[in-house]
Amino acid sequence: MGKSDSSKKDISVGKRTAQSSQPARKKKLIPMNAMSRGYSARFTPPRAKTEMLQIITFLEEFGDELEDMVEFSAPNPNLRMTLLLLRGHLEGRVVTATALIGASRVPYATANRRLKEMLEAGLIEQRPRTKTGKSFSLHPSEALMEQWKQLSSRVARLAVGHFGARHKPGGDTRDYYFGESYMSAKSIPPLQVLSEPLKLAGGLRVLVHGDPTFMVMDNFKRQFEQSIGAQIHQRAFSIDRLHEEAVRNAERKASRYDIVAVDLPWVGEFAERQILMPLDDAMDVARLDPADFHTAGWQAAHWGGRPYGVPAQTTPELLFYRKDLFAAAGLEPPATTDALLAAAKALHDPQSGQHGIAWNAARGTALGHTVLMTLADFGQPVFDLPPIAGGFATDQLADRRYNVTIDTDAGLRAAEFLLELLKYSPPDILSMSWYERVRPYAAGRIAMAYGYTLLAPYFELDEDSPANGQTGYLPHPAGPGANPIAPVGGYIMGIPANLPPDRVPAAVEALRVFTSPEAQKLYVQNGSRTNPRYSVGADPDVRRLSPVFEAVDAMSWRDELQFWPRPPVPEIAEIIQICGEEFHDMLRGLITPSETLRRAQERADAVIKKHRST
């Protein structure tokens, strides 16, 4: 079909949706029985997601067999379109009306009529893909998702009843990931050698962040070189210098690097400025097994519905707390901000060299991250994102229609909370950043610390640390009316947009190796405490190394891993810097909370206005 036909199909369906989209948003969310509290049916836990994908594949293949072998069997357009729609949703791919009609296997007029019927029935939702509103992406509705979750379970039970099962019925679903039992999970094999060595003149060139996970890659460079059959030249920078070098590299005629590591909040900027190549332009993304990645980490690698890299680290920021100190003081692990402040006060004893809590409070980038996460702890993102069950929607960020939300009631509560937290912090807290907040915790001078999981080796691998074997892991305690969340950080690895075309295929293969389950397991076994894949977290060898993997998997299951606290918009780095400066002045006592919020809001609004005018 020609291009004009595709446009007509999208527009005709779009008009129907525009008339019915408002009532659809008022529908009551459907709770999931498998969860401890109500969630939108659109959130799909790991096990349910895999079961649905398995059922979708089974029905697709079974339909193929029927249509090929039975003379009078005709395609079911509703079923075929539903299968493609659900697969696209679960795998994070954009689905259009054109794609659904093509998948129906019936004439265009019939398929278009059936598609409109499904829209009118509230089974499909549409969202604008462009500012003009003339192009739409299609998504399963809450009702359709709930129906298919139930169908997946029924089909699985029917198969068990007729053909037997590997596992006994009635097992505890908490012992499962991706439809597999943790108890029977197989150990991931060692890193394998590629069947053909990569052909790269001068070797593979990689730009990364100088953190423990990427340093494992450097320490085992020889092993990775044997795997890909090429030399590896790796450069590692601090976070700010990494950003500068990646931007500078994009200005060159040809990239100096085959692969670059990108902090999650930079994804939107790097996509808009064409610093990164869309991953689906370079490879078949299905080869990565997207469903194996933690949902939040995989979604954070996208911009405008397209992936721009592969999660290399998924490292949520958690609350580390000393279980032995809490037990001695008769304290429960804090689930709320009020309980956190009470525990910090109870455990704060400066005269004996012990302080209640440590956090990122150094001026600039470090404190800026804390501000955004604290806003999220009080139930508010830094932009006016539309609320959805379990958090806030980020799939329309590429439309650039968001506004800054700092000077708000929730912002004031977050600012006052940080001022209270300051009272129970060490005296040098205003110069503490990423590593400085965890080192005194590992040394036994701090009772609690906010920290990314990648920092856990500071005490988990130090047998002399008082926190060794005595650390509990929690999501961020929540403010009144908000839910506990674990803000997701970490890095993706992507391919520079200006990489010469003849190097792209080899870069793709190396990227796949570096982010494979085998490589991720190697990182963990040698000190990393980050892991973007469910399969690695379920590996029995990995689970024995640290309780953090089981804790993070449980948070993902409860939908607590979220990346909306630091939305990956192009302006985010500047806004983080602004918050880190204004709130630092507040913590130093130079300005009031209200003045802090006003100044940060005005400066952030100016940044948004500047970017939209260029």
Same structural domain, 72 and 36: yes
Task: Kindly tell me if the per-residue pLDDT of 6 is higher than 50.
Answer: no
Q: How confident is the model at residue 279 (pLDDT cuts 50, 70, 90)?
A: very high
- Supply the pLDDT for residue 19: 35
Same structural domain, 345 and 211: no
Is there a domain that residue 308 lies in?
yes
Same structural domain, 304 and 449: no
Do the beta carbons of residue 212 and residue 528 sit within 8 Å?
yes
Give me the residues paired with residue 472 across strands: 321
- Supply the pLDDT for residue 514: 95
Task: Kindly tell me if the per-residue pLDDT of 12 is higher than 70.
Answer: no
- Supply the pLDDT for residue 439: 94
Same structural domain, 466 and 532: no
Same structural domain, 33 and 139: yes
CATH of the domain at 127: 1.10.10.10
Task: Kindly tell me if the per-residue pLDDT of 153 is higher than 80.
Answer: no
Q: What is the mean pLDDT of residues 239-254?
A: 94
CATH of the domain at 227: 3.40.190.10
Q: How confident is the model at residue 133 (pLDDT cuts 50, 70, 90)?
A: low
The closest alpha carbon to 471, from 457, 490, 486, belongs to 457
> Last residue of some domain: 526, 554, 582?
554
The closest alpha carbon to 355, from 440, 451, 466, belongs to 440
Is there a domain that residue 181 lies in?
no
Same structural domain, 325 and 463: yes
Paired sense of beta strands 302-303 and 387-388, if any:
unpaired
Burial class (CB in 10 A: 0-12, 13-18, 19+), 196: exposed
> Last residue of some domain: 533, 554, 575?
554
Same structural domain, 21 and 143: yes
Residue 44 structural domain: 3-155
The closest alpha carbon to 86, from 64, 103, 69, 72, belongs to 103
Is there a domain that residue 168 lies in?
no
Same structural domain, 55 and 147: yes
- Supply the pLDDT for residue 130: 67
Same structural domain, 8 and 124: yes
Calpha distance 536→520 (Å, rounded): 7
pLDDT tens readout for residues 386-399? 998 778 988 888 88
Which tokens go with 140?
């399963």
Same structural domain, 483 and 511: no
Q: What is the mean pLDDT of residues 468-481?
A: 96
Is there a domain that residue 91 lies in?
yes
Same structural domain, 135 and 32: yes
Higher pLDDT, 174 or 315: 315
Do the beta carbons of residue 87 and residue 286 sit within 8 Å?
no
Is there a domain that residue 436 lies in?
yes
Same structural domain, 234 and 346: no
- What is the domain count for the chain? 3
**DSSP letter string over 498-551?**
TS-GGGHHHHHHHHHHHTSHHHHHHHHHTT-----BHHHHH-HHHHTT-THHHH
**Which phi and psi angles does 231 have, rounded to 5°?**
-70, 150
The overall average pLDDT reported for the chain is: 84
Is there a domain that residue 78 lies in?
yes
Is there a domain that residue 160 lies in?
no
> Last residue of some domain: 121, 155, 189?
155
Q: How confident is the model at residue 7 (pLDDT cuts 50, 70, 90)?
A: very low
Task: Kindly tell me if the per-residue pLDDT of 470 is higher than 90.
Answer: yes
Is there a domain that residue 172 lies in?
no
